[in-house]
Structure 1
Amino acid sequence: MADNLKPVAFLLLLLNLCMYIILAIIGGWAVNVAIDRGFIIGPELRLPAHFHPIFFPIGNFATGFFVLFSLIAGVVGIASAIVGFTHLRFWNYHSLQPAAVFGLLAWALTVLAMGLACQEISFDRRNAKLGTMEAFTIVLTVTQFFYVLAIHGGSQGAVPVERRGNFA
């Protein structure tokens, strides 16, 4: 059973890596747009009445939080994929621990970003690239969860090396 899940985990890992890279690229673009088109306040000017600390000129009030959490989830997801490739290479108990931790951390951050994506979808005034980012975040939540399940399911037969042997 453990070896049957290795190709499934590999395909999910490749899919997640590509999607996390796209998520990080679009998130970086959105941060760049916010920096370029953000508020410019001179020393004699006052802040606008509805100043938002994370202001994004594209999107709505949830966009700033969504983009930042998606960008963090994208970077942690890429790190999770790198550790996951190491686990798939060795496929033993000792490589499972970091892969599982990074996978669960990336999944938790992606779930948080997905909640903000759903909040942003409920508002109006969205950019097409942000809509793509929302869709990738929602799909990544599901695929990262299945990847974590696949590597945990593949570890059912794995035991630490020092515990193998005859127990008398």
Structure 2
Amino acid sequence: MADQMKPVASVLLLLNFCMFAIVLGISGWAMNKAIDHGFIIGPGFDLPAHFSPIYFPMGNAATGFFVTFSLIAGVVGVASVLAGVNHVRSWNSYSLPSAASTAAIAWTLTLLAMGFASKEIELRIRNSRLRTMEAFMIILSVTQLIYIAAIHGGRSR
């Protein structure tokens, strides 16, 4: 049974890596746009009435939190893929704890970002790139959980 789960874990690792890389690209774009188009605060400038330190010119009130946590989840997700590749390569009980723990942390951060994605969907005003990132975070929350189950289901020798 353990050897049957190795190809499943490998495919999920490749899928998750590609999706986390796309999430990193889109969230990096959104963060860059927010920094470039943020408020200029200095002498003679007053803060807008509803100033938010996490202001994003695209999207809605949840966009800043969604992009920030998606960026963090993407970085931790790529790190979990690296630990997962090491585990799949050696596939023994010594490499399982690091792969499982980083995958679990990446999954919880992905769930947090997915929660902000659902709030952003509820508020409705967003562009196509943010919609893509929302869909990827929802899909990643499922595929990351299946990956965790696969590496635990294929208990190594």
**TM-score, normalised relative to structure 1:** 0.92
Root mean square deviation of aligned Cα? 0.8
Q: Which residue of 1 aligns with 2:101?
A: 101
Give the aligned partner of residue 91 of structure 1: 91
Task: Select the structure of larger CA radius of gyration.
Answer: 1
AA aligned opposite 1:30? A
- Which of 18-27 and 33-42 deviates more? 33-42
Deviation for aligned residue 1:60: 0.4
Q: Which residue of 2 is the match for residue 18 of structure 1?
A: 18
User: Quick one: which amino acid aligns to residue 18 of structure 2?
Assistant: C
- Supply the AA of the counterpart residue of 1:113: A
**Identical aligned pairs, as a percentage?**
61
Distance in 1, matches of 2:56 and 2:86, equals: 37
In 1, distance between residues paired with 2:43 and 2:152?
Answer: 56
Q: For structure 1, which runs of at least 5 residues remain unmatched after alignment? A: 159-168
Give 3-state SS (helix, strand or coil) of 1:93's partner: coil
Q: CA deviation at 1:52?
A: 1.1
**TM-score of the superposed pair, with normalisation by structure 2:** 0.98
Distance 2:150 2:105 in 1: 16
Query: What is the alpha-carbon distance in structure 1 between the residues aligned to residue 108 and residue 125 of structure 2?
Result: 27
Task: Identify unmatched segments of 5+ residues in structure 2.
Answer: none
The letter for the 1-side match of 2:19 is M
Q: Deviations over 1:42-86 (max 9, x none)?
A: 311110001112000100000000000000000000000011000
Aligned length: 157
Structure 2 residue matching 1:4: 3-state secondary structure = helix
The letter of the residue matching 1:14 is L
Q: Cα offset for 1:41?
A: 2.3
CA distance in structure 2 between the aligned counterparts of 1:74 and 1:98, rounded to whole angstroms: 18
Counterpart-to-counterpart distance in 2, 1:43 and 1:20? 41
- Structure 1 CA distance, aligned partners of 2:89 and 2:133? 30
Shift of 1:22: 0.4
The C-alpha deviation readout for 1:79-126, integer Å capped at 9, x for no partner, is 000110000000000000100000000000000000000000000210
Does 1:143 find its partner at 2:150? no
Q: Report whether the alignment pairs 1:153 with 2:153.
A: yes
Mapping of 1:47-58 within 5 angstroms? 47-58=47-58
Separation (CA, whole Å) in 1 of partners of 2:6 and 2:146: 13
Distance 1:82 1:129 in 2: 26
Show the counterpart of 2:27. 27
| Residue in structure 2 matched with residue 123 of structure 1 by the alignment | 123
Q: Match for 2:50: what amino acid? A: H
Report the secondary structure of 1:94's partner residue: coil
Tell me which amino acid in the other structure corresponds to 2:22: I
